[in-house]
Amino acid sequence: MNYGFVGAGEITAAIVEGLSKDVTDAPSIFLSPRSRSVGQELADRFPNVKVCAGNQEVLDNATSIVLAVRPPIAQEVLADLTFRPEHVLISALAGARLAQLREWAAPAGDVVRTIPLPPAARRQSLTAMYPDNAAARTLFDSIGGTVVPDEEEGLNVFSAATATFAAHLDYLGTIAAWMTDQGIEDTVATTFTSHIFGQLGQSLLEHDGALETLTGKHMTPGGLNEQLLTELRTEGVPDTVRHALDGILTRLRDR
């Protein structure tokens, strides 16, 4: 299997690393010249990776094409390319709909929307995609797995959920900063906070039931966890999160 990447940012780098690092018989990968420094670093690390002279050369060498450019320039980038019916365009753009992508990439035979994540570098990205497609599934199953909603609109819901990353990290930063305010050395507070929530993340990966069940396992009646959770709920934090996610979803639907 050969893969081509048009756009060479963080997501491209993560996927390429996941496909290549410590992999026997890694696929041939052809990279866009855009962000040549990123592509060259990957090509220097992995013998299966080549930086092409232009985007068209990427398409000439591969049939599964991952589009990972900034959404505002996607139409302009695709307008300069000649697709073939055997091409599968795998879009990593937020918000660009299938109808638009099919028009821009005609006569490409298949177009798939996806939401790959940075943990692809560790082969731990559960990638949402629509519609189901064998080539895209082969790619993303090899770097963590896939999930396919029942309809295209479902991708916006998955995309909105990923908008919570910075807020979650800010929450952890608030905890670490509070510990520092109480006299704990800054690096110790950060290390401790990162450790306990990193371990909690591992518990999440190993848990296959409802999240409410896991919540219950981490608090006792009248305990400290229950006290904090009750106060946050009383202050309306869950409702604020829901309201913010509704706003993100509206923005995605209006694109």
Sign of CA dihedral 75, 81, 82, 84: negative
Supply the range of the domain harboring residue 200: 165-253
- The domain that contains 75 carries what CATH number? 3.40.50.720
Q: In the structure encoding, which two tokens stand for residue 147, read together?
A: 């999930």
Quick: pLDDT tens for 59-96: 999 999 999 999 889 999 999 999 999 999 999 998 78
List, in order, residues 6 or more apart from 104 with CB less than 8 Å away: 74, 75, 78, 79
Quick: pLDDT tens for 124-162: 999 999 999 999 999 999 999 999 999 999 999 999 999
- Tell me, yes or no, whether 231 lies in a domain: yes
Q: How far apart are CA 23 and CA 143, in angstroms?
A: 11
Q: How far, CA to CA in Å, does 124 sit from each of 21, 115, 119, 140, 144? A: 13, 13, 5, 10, 4
Q: How far apart are CA 175 and CA 169, in angstroms?
A: 10
Closest CA to 39 of 61, 72, 66, 17: 17
Quick: pLDDT tens for 173-223: 999 999 999 999 999 999 999 999 999 999 998 888 899 999 999 999 999
Q: In terms of domains, do 133 and 182 share one? A: no
C-beta of residue 152 within 8 angstroms of C-beta of residue 130 = yes
Q: How far, CA to CA in Å, does 20 sit from each of 12, 43, 69, 121, 133? A: 12, 10, 21, 9, 22
Q: In terms of domains, do 32 and 145 share one? A: yes
- Tell me, yes or no, whether 155 lies in a domain: no
Helices (runs of H) and strands (runs of E) counted in the chain: 12, 8
Quick: pLDDT tens for 37-59: 889 999 999 999 999 999 999 99
Q: Of the candidates 98, 117, 149, which is a domain's last residue?
A: 149
